[in-house]
Structure 1
């Protein structure tokens, strides 16, 4: 069988291929790992390459690079280069066709970075399956872009172009939460309505789907999909909120300038802090003109130490490392605990505590919008909340207890079921790919 299914996620990705004897299986992408961080590290020092470095192909051949965990490790271990993460977030934006510098004066289009990552996934899958893969089902969020159907369609078109560029001749799409419903359906013993909550790194997507053992083999499931809805808020937004709440204040976020001539101090300009907490915008802060502008703003700070810390972050390009610290802190308090964020890379002894209560306050508005989206999805389905039999959680961000508790409270009569946070969507996409392409083969 020459087909596969790809879950190209904001934070992690996976790929499913046909299994000998029938069915689908997830490919081991890094050692025994069935998922791989959606990350690429461009290596700029040809004399000191990290393990696993490979040369790109075609338009994406600017520099050697590593992928997934190896990419993150190369960055953490201090190899010279640039780390790219959350590439999915640029789909549907003007950035997708823009060129970004990856080092040594070389530039690559964001879409070509995505293409190179997909090529790596396809190569891993072909190696594992021993066959060329020409057809693919790609997962997609309900909305790449909220409330903008034109940009949303453009986002899917860009992702399809990337898939075709790596060699797929037949490209189909399936909504990620619906794929998760197909995965849940494997354990359903009776017909029921399930609300799938697929909350990953970039989007929170919901679907109300009718599932059951008698429906599982049908190819056309459109009548079983009662509603889809989503909002562009998820894990990377949580990281940003945590960073703004606990990492950026020592650098001046929320601070004030000096009091001049008896006037009330003015707030420190905040744009740089928002950019430093957004993965795909961090490198814009390092542009020479931007650095010069920030350097000239020393007088805007009532506490000169805050400006000095900010400039160290900018000059030493520590933005991605700080977002990583925020992400780790979010995970540390996911179950309601507390942590202390180590900021000694900025200044010896510098740290910032983060408690569960502080995290809840920082995420309050985002969580409220996600819960409201879930409620609206059920309303769009035209059924009462009590008709939902199961609330199926998938996606990396469903490990956040604050979030799942609020969703469970919104649907108290539904049974909370937790799937594989990182692999449920890929598994469901694989099931859909098998039904779709096997049916197509039979019809021919």
Structure 2
């Protein structure tokens, strides 16, 4: 039957699991599942919650008339102390509960392939869950630990995600190199500088090869949020005026629109108080047509479909100088051309933060450009053209490589069995 180890990359956008056969010392399969949850509208108080994960969540979301509860970017709530739990059809689920559902799905799919109930895993984690905040990092790690246990993993080690990516890249090298690895995901951007040597691939002791690690809480979700703020929110009434008192017109609070730009907020932006507030603003705005779009968005759980349109625009701009930001659903109509130059300006603030952090990371760890032999970029956000330009501008003389942006980390984690030698 074989002995197996699972390398698990629980990601903000996608999650992946690589199955490593410890006897044959090879990866036998890799599974990718979008990090999405959908809870059906038709639930019974006496039965377990009915839900689906991944692509099936998207299909069910549409088939179910978008009347259930759709959730994405769940990883981003792990460090949030303000998030205690959410209520889903009279059931209370905390952060670990939500993550458990995705890890359990990955495990079940992998167990079908291996034919065993595998409880051994190396699970990836960002270098910092939230901008070098120790208390938030401890909270996120605790919640992830609990989720892994709930999902059936009793023998677990954790590895920084960029180190996992580095170990996957190492197996493609011909000779020893000092490599700067950048893992650009949906929620975080992580850096690791380490010595890679194909002759040491699979060695039991790798701690001495890791020279420096660091990260910042900025990723593709931030790009999407910035785009939604600039290009999306005007279609949902960001500039709406309402009559606060007879003859006194004020702008609707911008906090309402900040919430629809952030998935960690939109996941839970459906309480009764919010609904009452929106109805009141709509009434006192004399039923502003664009503000009505905001009510339609929240009441019909359309957030994911809007962000899908944003994601399509982002991907198209990686290969084309112009694209159209298009959305048409339930009376909400968006049709606007966006240029790559304009998109780059929209995300420039986030790019500047990544660039500044990278400079600080190199300075803090006394890493000179001449010390770096090559760079390895991974993660879905690394495909954004402006991100590639950032690294090409900083390291014009260095070769920049990339692997499979969605499975490199999981494969590298599966190669990290040396972590179990500690005990």
Global fold match (TM > 0.5):
yes
Q: 1:265–1:375: structure 2 CA closer, same or farther, 3 Å change rule?
A: farther
Aligned match of 2:169 in 180, 184, 189?
184
Take 1:89 and 1:387, find their aligned partners in 2: how far apart are those partners?
A: 34
| Consecutive unaligned residues in structure 1, runs of 5 or more | 29-33, 48-55
Alignment correspondent of 2:39: 42
Residue 11 (str. 1) matches residue 13 (str. 2):
yes
Take 1:134 and 1:348, find their aligned partners in 2: how far apart are those partners?
A: 47
CA offsets 1:104-124 (integer angstroms, 9 cap, x no match): x44322321211221121111
TM-score by length of 1: 0.87
Displacement after TM superposition at 1:138 (Å): 0.7
Q: 1:77–1:329: structure 2 CA closer, same or farther, 3 Å change rule?
A: farther
After TM superposition, list the pairs within 5 Å mapping 1:380-419 onto structure 2: 380-419=364-403
Alignment correspondent of 1:31: none
Alignment correspondent of 1:156: 141
Take 1:85 and 1:259, find their aligned partners in 2: how far apart are those partners?
A: 35
After TM superposition, list the pairs within 5 Å mapping 1:80-159 onto structure 2: 80-94=67-81, 98-103=84-89, 105-159=90-144
CA offsets 1:332-384 (integer angstroms, 9 cap, x no match): 22234322222321536542332212211110010111122223222233221
Q: 1:333–1:266: structure 2 CA closer, same or farther, 3 Å change rule?
A: farther
Take 2:18 and 2:104, find their aligned partners in 1: how far apart are those partners?
A: 15
Displacement after TM superposition at 1:134 (Å): 2.0
Alignment correspondent of 1:284: 268
Higher RCO (Cα < 8 Å, 6 or more apart): 2
Instruction: Out of 295-304 and 352-361, give the one that drifted further.
Output: 295-304
Query: What secondary structure is seen at the aligned counterpart in 2 of 1:343?
Result: strand
Q: 1:384–1:348: structure 2 CA closer, same or farther, 3 Å change rule?
A: closer
Residue 69 (str. 1) matches residue 55 (str. 2):
yes
CA contact (8 A) 1:204 1:230 kept: yes
Displacement after TM superposition at 1:74 (Å): 1.5
Query: What secondary structure is seen at the aligned counterpart in 2 of 1:341?
Result: strand
Take 2:332 and 2:86, find their aligned partners in 1: how far apart are those partners?
A: 33
Take 1:317 and 1:340, find their aligned partners in 2: how far apart are those partners?
A: 23
CA offsets 1:264-308 (integer angstroms, 9 cap, x no match): 975442111111121221143321111111222247759922222
Alignment correspondent of 2:179: 194
Take 2:357 and 2:416, find their aligned partners in 1: how far apart are those partners?
A: 26
CA contact (8 A) 1:252 1:307 kept: yes
CA contact (8 A) 2:379 2:405 kept: yes
Alignment correspondent of 2:307: 323
- Post-superposition, which runs of at least 4 consecutive aligned residues in structure 1 deviate over 6 A? 258-261
Q: 1:265–1:208: structure 2 CA closer, same or farther, 3 Å change rule?
A: farther
Q: 1:266–1:411: structure 2 CA closer, same or farther, 3 Å change rule?
A: farther
Q: 1:160–1:106: structure 2 CA closer, same or farther, 3 Å change rule?
A: closer
Displacement after TM superposition at 1:101 (Å): 2.7
Aligned length: 418
Take 1:158 and 1:214, find their aligned partners in 2: how far apart are those partners?
A: 36
Take 1:239 and 1:321, find their aligned partners in 2: how far apart are those partners?
A: 13
After TM superposition, list the pairs within 5 Å mapping 1:257-296 onto structure 2: 257=241, 267-296=251-280
Take 2:97 and 2:26, find their aligned partners in 1: how far apart are those partners?
A: 29
Displacement after TM superposition at 1:77 (Å): 3.5
Displacement after TM superposition at 1:2 (Å): 4.4
Instruction: Out of 209-218 and 179-188, give the one that drifted further.
Output: 209-218
The structure with the largest strand share of the pair is 2
CA contact (8 A) 2:242 2:281 kept: no
CA contact (8 A) 1:388 1:413 kept: no
Query: What secondary structure is seen at the aligned counterpart in 1 of 2:173?
Result: coil
CA contact (8 A) 2:78 2:95 kept: no
Q: 1:303–1:326: structure 2 CA closer, same or farther, 3 Å change rule?
A: farther
Displacement after TM superposition at 1:75 (Å): 1.4
Q: 1:191–1:2: structure 2 CA closer, same or farther, 3 Å change rule?
A: closer
Take 1:295 and 1:26, find their aligned partners in 2: how far apart are those partners?
A: 54
